[in-house]
């Protein structure tokens, strides 16, 4: 697809249609109350939460799209100015509430952008999403897969959320005289909290803004801000530190639980702060202990536990996802400098076009680069299997897009609904 037609989770580029996968902060950087660039497509849940996240946002820009419903967008080629029809089908990402993947189809082929996603093999929702994807594809292969590569490393092996939930409940039950604090983000892990509430027949305390989010999500009787009603409370992830837990223990015996697929450690320099370890690459210099599988809850210091409850896919789930879709080209969407893991490194072998020989030469090249630079190289393999570095697009394209009349940049586009296959 040409640049300047569709933007996903990117808000500062000239585009004709904008897609939001979900409302986590790292996907909304650049989005604000005053953002007016064009129509913004998202799920019904995201559309209901977004005006509260960005007060004053022009809601007339929102275009709500339902899981499984294919929509046709009539866009314009930024280079030839010829009309281009793009079909898009949202698929359940099973990440946080409202999270979607987007499957695009047009003369450019089939492109799937996963956003953040969890692909639990045992989950009915994932099975449904899988059937939906395959139904829409009708035997066609994905040409380009933009994938959540957060845990795209065999080191990351953790159980389904159902199992991790039991681990959290066990910790709470075995500490009947303790207060419990659980670190969460401003969206996500609601099911964990609801299941704790059900299992123990208690309410969960949250902070006021989070209570409003819970109410918008339809949870009416599970959550409270009343301190006297419950010993279990969720706190913002950024405030979940050893210092916080120590401070709370000065007042009452307190256990901290961090649900995360990342190993959490002591900061060696301070010996107090909890932080997510930066796994730089498959050749990480971090402690070998870090690279062990994490199927169980771990007790850290200071009455703090790390439980492998994750809303991202672990490595085996990513492997299954790629096996099912057999994409011709894969690109990781998580590109923060210290955790970028190129999916091509681990999954070149599943590609039906790659011979064993070219696979080996690819891996050996990656290894050489990794050892010289000390971090995972950012590589992209083209369809003809020549290794090519990912470089910024020529700025001329951006300028050309920004010169387009407002109507062609996205202020007004023709939309029509059509079901897949129709
Ligand atoms: Zn997310």
Tokens 């898009």 locate to 88
Distance 234 CA to ligand 1 centre (A): 18
Distance 23 CA to ligand 1 centre (A): 7
- Percentages helix, strand, coil for the chain (3-state, rounded to 5) are 30, 20, 45
- Of the candidates 413, 383, 408, which has an alpha carbon nearest to the alpha carbon of residue 80? 408
Sign of torsion, CA 70 76 77 78? Answer: negative
Is the pLDDT at 355 greater than 70, yes or no?
no
User: pLDDT (tens digit, 9 = 90+) per residue, 405-421?
Assistant: 333 333 334 344 433 33
CB atoms within 10 A of CB 100: 28
Distance 352 CA to ligand 1 centre (A): 30
For residues 416 and 387, which has the higher predicted lDDT (pLDDT)?
416
Is the pLDDT at 260 greater than 60, yes or no?
yes
Distance 403 CA to ligand 1 centre (A): 33
C-alpha–C-alpha distance, residues 102 and 166, integer Å = 32
- Of the candidates 192, 144, 188, 186, which has an alpha carbon nearest to the alpha carbon of residue 168? 192
Distance 274 CA to ligand 1 centre (A): 21
So what's the pLDDT on residue 389? 25
Distance 22 CA to ligand 1 centre (A): 7
Distance 95 CA to ligand 1 centre (A): 7
Tokens 């400098």 locate to 337
What is the average per-residue pLDDT within 41-63? 97
Distance 16 CA to ligand 1 centre (A): 24
Mean residue pLDDT of the chain comes to: 79
- Of the candidates 9, 15, 10, 104, which has an alpha carbon nearest to the alpha carbon of residue 404? 15
Distance 354 CA to ligand 1 centre (A): 32
Distance 161 CA to ligand 1 centre (A): 15
Task: Supply the pTM of this predicted model.
Answer: 0.78
At 293, is the pLDDT very low, low, confident or very high (cuts 50, 70, 90)? very low
Got the DSSP string for 205-251? E--HHHHHHHHHTT--SSEE--TTS-SEEEEEGGG-SHHHHHHHHHH
Distance 99 CA to ligand 1 centre (A): 8
User: pLDDT (tens digit, 9 = 90+) per residue, 307-331?
Assistant: 999 999 998 999 999 999 999 999 8
So what's the pLDDT on residue 410? 38
Domains by residue range for the chain, with CATH: 6-154+313-417 (3.60.15.10), 161-307 (3.40.50.12650)
User: pLDDT (tens digit, 9 = 90+) per residue, 97-114?
Assistant: 999 999 999 999 999 999
């Amino acid at each position: 697809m040409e640049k300047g037609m569709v933007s996903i989770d990117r808000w500062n580029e000239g585009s004709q249609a904008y897609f939001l996968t979900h409302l986590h902060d790292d996907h909304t950087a650049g989005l604000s109350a005053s953002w007016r660039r064009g129509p913004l497509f998202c799920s019904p849940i995201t559309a209901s939460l977004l005006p509260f996240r960005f007060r004053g946002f022009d809601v007339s820009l929102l275009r709500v799209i339902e899981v499984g419903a294919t929509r046709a967008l009539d866009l314009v080629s930024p280079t030839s100015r010829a009309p281009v029809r793009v079909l898009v089908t949202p698929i359940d990402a099973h990440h946080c509430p409202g999270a979607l993947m987007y499957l695009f189809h047009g003369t450019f082929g089939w492109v799937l952008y996963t956003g953040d996603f969890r692909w639990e093999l045992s989950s009915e929702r994932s099975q449904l999403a899988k059937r939906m994807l395959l139904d829409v594809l009708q035997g066609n292969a994905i040409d380009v897969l933009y994938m959540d590569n957060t845990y795209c490393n065999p080191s990351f092996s953790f159980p389904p959320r159902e199992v991790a939930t039991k681990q959290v409940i066990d910790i709470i039950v075995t500490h009947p005289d303790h207060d419990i604090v659980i670190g969460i983000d401003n969206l996500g892990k609601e099911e964990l909290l609801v299941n704790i509430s059900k299992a123990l027949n208690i309410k969960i305390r949250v902070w006021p803004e989070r209570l409003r989010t819970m109410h918008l999500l339809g949870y009416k009787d599970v959550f409270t801000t009343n301190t006297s009603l419950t010993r279990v409370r969720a706190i913002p992830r950024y405030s979940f530190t050893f210092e916080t837990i120590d401070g709370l223990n000065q007042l009452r015996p307190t256990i901290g639980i961090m649900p995360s697929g990342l190993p959490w450690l002591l900061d060696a320099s301070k010996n107090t702060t909890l932080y997510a370890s930066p796994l730089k690459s498959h050749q990480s210099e971090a402690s070998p202990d870090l690279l062990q599988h994490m199927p169980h809850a771990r007790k850290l210091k200071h009455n703090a536990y790390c439980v492998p409850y994750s809303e991202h896919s672990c490595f085996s789930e990513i492997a299954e996802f790629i096996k099912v879709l057999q994409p011709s080209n894969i690109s990781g969407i998580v590109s923060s400098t210290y955790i970028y893991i190129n999916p091509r490194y681990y999954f070149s072998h599943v590609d039906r076009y790659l011979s064993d020989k070219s696979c080996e030469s690819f891996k050996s090249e990656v290894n050489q680069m990794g050892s010289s630079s000390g971090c995972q190289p950012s590589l992209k393999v083209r369809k003809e299997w020549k290794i090519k570095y990912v470089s910024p697009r020529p700025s001329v394209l951006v300028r050309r897009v920004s010169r387009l009349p407002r109507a062609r940049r996205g202020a007004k586009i023709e939309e029509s609904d059509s079901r897949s296959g129709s």
